[in-house]
């Protein structure tokens, strides 16, 4: 009996642990601590710019900077780490890195060609690195000399990209690193009084640059912050709170993720009460949630690399490089769990997008041309997940889709709806004339038959029509619990 009792306690502990891990807010953690700089809101933003964001489905990330010149190599040596971090690896002297900008002359750079490719990929938004951790600015900032203006190339790259993507109807978001290895005042932690005085200069510099970016590029729809995990930054709750407000006032509807503001206690993403700070959860980098419970009713994005872990250009990709089908599955999975999927591109030092990325953009784009109906404006459908793939549903029309990745050898697809919802008609998105046979096996369980031979290689979409549209508003996962 005693042993059993202890076992139960251990099991309880395990359950608690499993529920509590991850970035996500969990009900266990919900408290009501008074915060000056906590979440600005509980629950999702419902305004038009945020609805547009939610409905993008697919985005493109661009990592570009002077790290594209060494491309993961220095002095003939290969560095396995992320290419945009090469300055920090043992082996590359800082001085050598800090002089690379004198060689930055991307003669092949063609903003319109990049934007056109992104359009063909099916991306609805783009996130562009304006400045990575090295501090190099792709726009001619007034507040530092370490910018594109002082390279042989001279011309404003951010300006060219904003214009080109805007022309294609692709919304522009700016990536901005708080870490800045080039600014004397930047510190990861504040130890001495001098650190603190210098950091005040850095804070003013950061504010100036952000205001400068939104002033120069008023088309900007949002900011994607990175490098906000330092102790020094986490202690700036009041300053970041004010800055966040100031930036939002500059561009109404501006979208900022959960990586910007720390709360009064230095918590990131979620404040001391477990409420998300920012407009969407920015914690899914190179990884994805598996269940709707893991996203806790929040908006979220997943940013993903094509090789294992390279954002900036690395000339020698080793290890697994994702295939188009893997990327498409990640995209569909993100949409099926109410998130956006953002695929990274790392152009080289001349401004060329490498052939592997170009090929994948084409393949994913071709798939999107046929199947994007199941992606754009789509999100989570509250039906039990099945092994053949993912359900998505259009948030406006309520149309429902099955995106198939694992064709059952039997050719039989199980669909379990909600009580009272029956499957009336199923057809192929790319062949609406072909109606599939439906058999009801239980109250709300249906079997659909489709011979796998017809679609041997590509993920494909089935459209489901039901007797009535399910109202998703009673879905507990679409709104965080208050």
User: Least separation, in Å, of the C-beta of 59 and ligand 1KN?
Assistant: 13
Radius of gyration of the chain from its Cα atoms, rounded to whole angstroms: 24
Considering only residues 188 to 247 of the shown chain, the ones binding ligand 1KN according to CB under 6 A are 226
According to the binding rule CB under 6 A, does residue 173 interact with ligand 1KN? no
Q: Which of 303, 353, 374, 426 binds ligand 1KN (CB under 6 A)?
A: 303
Partner residues linked to 137 by β-bridges: 131, 147
Residue 341 or 450 having the CB closest to ligand 1KN? 341
**Segment 61 to 80, residues that bind ligand 1KN, using CB under 6 A:** 63
**Which residue intervals of 142-225 are DSSP H helices?**
157-167, 193-216
The smaller minimum CB distance to ligand 1KN, of residues 236 and 310, is found at: 310
Pairing of strands 389-394, 431-435: unpaired
* CB nearer ligand 1KN, residue 166 or residue 285: 285
Beta carbon of residue 83, minimum distance to ligand 1KN (angstroms, whole number): 9
Query: How many whole angstroms separate alpha carbon 368 and alpha carbon 366?
Result: 5
Find, among 281, 255, 295, 333, the residue nearest to 479 by Cα. Answer: 295
13 class by beta-carbon count within 10 Å (0-12 exposed, 13-18 middle, 19+ buried)? exposed
Beta-carbon neighbour count of residue 230 at 10 Å?
16
Contact characters 258-287, ligand 1KN, x per CB under 6 A: ---------------------------x--
**Subset of 31-50 contacting ligand 1KN (CB under 6 A):** none
Residue from 136, 202, 239, 311 touching ligand 1KN (CB under 6 A): that is 311
Q: Which is closer to ligand 1KN, CB of 82 or CB of 375?
A: 82
Nearest approach, Cβ of residue 174 and ligand 1KN (Å): 13
Of 23 and 311, which CB lies nearer to ligand 1KN in the complex structure?
311
> Could you tell me the smallest distance in angstroms from the CB atom of residue 199 to ligand 1KN?
20
Shortest gap between Cβ of 284 and ligand 1KN (angstroms)? 11
Report the SS3 class of residue 379: strand
CB atoms within 10 A of CB 155: 13
3-state secondary structure of 432: strand
How many residues in the chain?
482
Give the nearest distance from C-beta 228 to ligand 1KN in angstroms. 10
Q: Is 180 in the site for ligand 1KN (CB under 6 A)?
A: no
Contacts of 298 (CB under 8 A, 6+ apart): 24, 25, 44, 276, 280, 281, 480
82 interacts with ligand 1KN by CB under 6 A: yes
How many Cβ atoms are within 10 Å of 3's Cβ, its own excluded?
7
Q: Which residues pair with 438 in a beta bridge?
A: 448
| 84 counts as binding ligand 1KN under rule CB under 6 A | yes
């Amino acid at each position: 009996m005693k042993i059993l009792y202890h076992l139960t306690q251990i099991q309880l502990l395990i359950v608690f642990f499993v529920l509590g891990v991850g970035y996500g807010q969990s009900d266990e953690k919900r408290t009501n601590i008074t915060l000056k700089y906590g979440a600005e809101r509980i629950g999702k933003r419902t305004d038009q710019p945020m609805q547009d964001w939610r409905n993008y489905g697919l985005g493109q990330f661009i990592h570009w900077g002077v790290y594209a010149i060494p491309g993961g190599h220095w002095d003939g040596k290969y560095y396995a780490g992320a290419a945009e971090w090469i300055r920090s690896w043992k082996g590359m002297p800082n001085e050598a890195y800090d002089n690379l900008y004198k060689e930055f002359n991307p003669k092949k750079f063609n903003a319109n060609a990049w934007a056109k490719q992104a359009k063909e990929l099916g991306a609805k938004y783009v996130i562009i690195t304006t400045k990575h951790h090295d501090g190099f600015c792709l726009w001619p900032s007034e507040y530092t000399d370490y910018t594109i203006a002082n390279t042989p190339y001279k011309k404003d790259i951010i300006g060219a990209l904003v214009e080109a993507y805007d022309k294609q109807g692709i919304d522009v978001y700016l990536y901005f690193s708080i870490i800045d290895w080039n600014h004397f005042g930047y510190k990861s932690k504040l130890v001495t009084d001098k650190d603190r005085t210098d950091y005040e200069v850095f804070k003013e510099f950061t504010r100036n640059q952000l205001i400068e970016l939104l002033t120069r590029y008023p088309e900007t729809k949002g900011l994607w912050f990175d490098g906000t995990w330092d102790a020094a930054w986490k202690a700036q709750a009041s300053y970041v709170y004010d800055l966040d407000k100031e930036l939002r006032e500059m561009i109404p509807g501006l979208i900022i993720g959960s990586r910007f503001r720390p709360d009064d206690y230095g918590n990131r993403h979620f404040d001391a009460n477990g409420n998300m700070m920012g407009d969407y959860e920015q914690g899914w980098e190179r990884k994805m949630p598996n269940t709707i419970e893991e996203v806790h009713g929040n908006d979220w994005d997943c940013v993903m690399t094509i090789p294992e872990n390279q954002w900036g250009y690395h000339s020698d990709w080793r290890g697994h490089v994702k295939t188009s089908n893997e990327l498409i599955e990640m995209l569909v999975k993100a949409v099926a769990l109410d998130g956006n999927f953002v695929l990274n591109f790392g152009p080289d030092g001349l401004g060329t997008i490498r052939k592997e990325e170009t090929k994948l953009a084409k393949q994913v784009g071709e798939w999107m041309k046929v199947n994007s109906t199941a992606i754009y404006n789509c999100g989570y459908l509250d039906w039990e997940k099945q092994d053949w793939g993912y359900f998505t549903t259009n948030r406006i029309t309520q149309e429902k889709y099955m995106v198939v990745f694992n064709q059952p050898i039997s050719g039989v697809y199980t669909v379990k709806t909600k009580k009272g919802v029956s499957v009336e008609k199923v057809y192929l998105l790319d062949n609406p004339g072909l109606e599939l046979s439906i058999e009801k096996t239980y109250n709300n369980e249906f079997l659909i038959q489709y011979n796998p031979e017809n679609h041997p290689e590509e993920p494909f979409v089935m459209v489901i029509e039901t007797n009535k549209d399910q109202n998703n508003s009673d879905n507990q996962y679409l709104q965080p619990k208050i």
